[in-house]
Structure 1
């Protein structure tokens, strides 16, 4: 099983004690990307806090991670419930400080077939899961990490944030909001020893992913996980993967408005 580079996230240290285990939180760990990241981070000396909605999937991921030498705690949770999420992060970080948090959980629904506008209930849920939930968790953790003088936070956004997608307006908007929040949080907490990284992936290929897009645009799941962790390890502020989606962002900006609008109306992956 492949692993990330040695000791990518240093354990917190104080003048009084040095903790042996690195405590790493991964939200969305029952999903494809979160699970892939957990498997890559699993190693002796690492304690994984795996959050997700699907307990059966969490249990499977935990078994794999424990076999790789990690210790694991599981929490079944829905990030659309902010009070429960904030209570959980307070409990887990109070039990022992979290060294790094990978806030991966998200939802990618689009306008249902045959409809023009997303259902209002779907808009509300996507806004909560993709923006309000991870932003609130990041703020809560950043506050605690600033007090300790160190910590790392990863927010997984999307290349969709750069485009006004008529087939997925709330997904694109929620990821755009998360991107702006991540940038602002990075500026605020960087001088206090806390590193914030945003990764904006394009299309990622996984089993049962349901992504009817050209194969050339799909990034294999394990390669996406590798690149996400590489950006996090390097402490970059923002990484777009694969890089060709950065070119699409520039194209969106460069096209005349009429041409851009016509192109986006035709784009329905």
Structure 2
């Protein structure tokens, strides 16, 4: 019987897949969720070679009701010790558009905010009853800034950030630790879609190690690389009109999600 049960969303690639590989070992059962069944199986194969037992589920997180049912089923079968809500969308404003489309805004809000909030709330209640558990939510350093190119992304990540620290305040008395992960640029398929400067790009395996240490130690917030803690403070002290003028000068292009990249 596995000693630990870890459920990871967004496990088909990027940080989620790297975390699955990091945690994989004998005595650990991994429940891996993602959109791509084929890529999930690749992650699962690596985890099994390291001794973990693995279940996979191809799921669309815009369908929150289905996600909640699947979460309850996984926890009923074997109590979840660590829930890592890593899945996310990062679309930016299309070239020559004034803002993101309403359809993109709704989908991104579900994947980045509404569904993970519902899942974390359900799991927090279950873990609090057991007086044990860890929940990690994937924010972003983008949540610290008013990004004209990514209004929905930065807004949804800001929402998940405030929810995470509020849930941390609620759950600490019940020995349930909630960790907000706020990374900068990490070398994943998501970042590989971007054309433009990606300052202080972090290798995905290094990012996974940092995140896992934060979760395992029960810390409340992880911001990395450290330089983004400084940019956060800088925008806080700058007058907003000046900060907005600077941010409007950002020049980033994004390839369509299904377009192949050289690193994919």
Interval containing the TM-score (normalised by the shorter chain): over 0.9
- Equivalent positions of 1:153-172 (< 5 A) are 153-172=135-154
Contact 1:205 1:211 in 2 (8 A): no
Secondary structure (helix, strand or coil) at the match of 2:33 reads strand
Q: Does 1:259 align with 2:242?
A: yes
Aligned to 2:208: 225
> Which residue of 128, 137, 140 maps to 2:122?
140
Instruction: Determine the C-alpha separation between the residues in 2 that align with 1:135 and 1:112.
Output: 27
Label 1:20 to 1:122 Cα distance change in 2 as closer, same or farther (>3 A): closer
Instruction: Determine the C-alpha separation between the residues in 2 that align with 1:162 and 1:211.
Output: 20
How much has 1:212 moved relative to structure 2? 2.8
Instruction: Determine the C-alpha separation between the residues in 1 that align with 2:93 and 2:103.
Output: 12
Instruction: Determine the C-alpha separation between the residues in 1 that align with 2:187 and 2:133.
Output: 30
Number of paired residues? 251
Q: Does 1:32 align with 2:14?
A: yes
> Which residue of 208, 213, 218 maps to 1:235?
218
Label 1:216 to 1:181 Cα distance change in 2 as closer, same or farther (>3 A): closer
Secondary structure (helix, strand or coil) at the match of 2:43 reads helix
Give per-residue Cα distances to partners, 1:206-230, cap 9 Å, x unaligned: 3572233436421111111111111
Instruction: Determine the C-alpha separation between the residues in 2 that align with 1:108 and 1:215.
Output: 14
How much has 1:258 moved relative to structure 2? 2.3
Contact 1:189 1:195 in 2 (8 A): yes
Instruction: Determine the C-alpha separation between the residues in 2 that align with 1:243 and 1:255.
Output: 19
Please give the root-mean-square deviation of Cα atoms over the aligned residues, in Å: 1.2
Aligned to 2:255: none
Aligned to 2:258: none
Give per-residue Cα distances to partners, 1:11-56, cap 9 Å, x unaligned: xxxxxxxx64200000000121100110111111100000011000
How much has 1:133 moved relative to structure 2? 0.8
Q: TM-score if structure 1 supplies the norm length?
A: 0.90
Gaps of 5+ in 1: 1-18
Label 1:52 to 1:98 Cα distance change in 2 as closer, same or farther (>3 A): same
Aligned to 1:202: 184
Instruction: Determine the C-alpha separation between the residues in 2 that align with 1:213 and 1:250.
Output: 23
Instruction: Determine the C-alpha separation between the residues in 2 that align with 1:124 and 1:268.
Output: 24
Q: Does 1:181 align with 2:163?
A: yes
Instruction: Determine the C-alpha separation between the residues in 1 that align with 2:196 and 2:96.
Output: 19
How much has 1:250 moved relative to structure 2? 0.5
Contact 1:104 1:156 in 2 (8 A): yes
- Equivalent positions of 1:53-202 (< 5 A) are 53-202=35-184
Aligned to 2:262: none
How much has 1:113 moved relative to structure 2? 1.3
Gaps of 5+ in 2: 253-264
Contact 1:110 1:167 in 2 (8 A): yes
> Which residue of 4, 7, 23 maps to 1:41?
23
Structure 1 segments, 4+ long, off by >6 Å, are: none
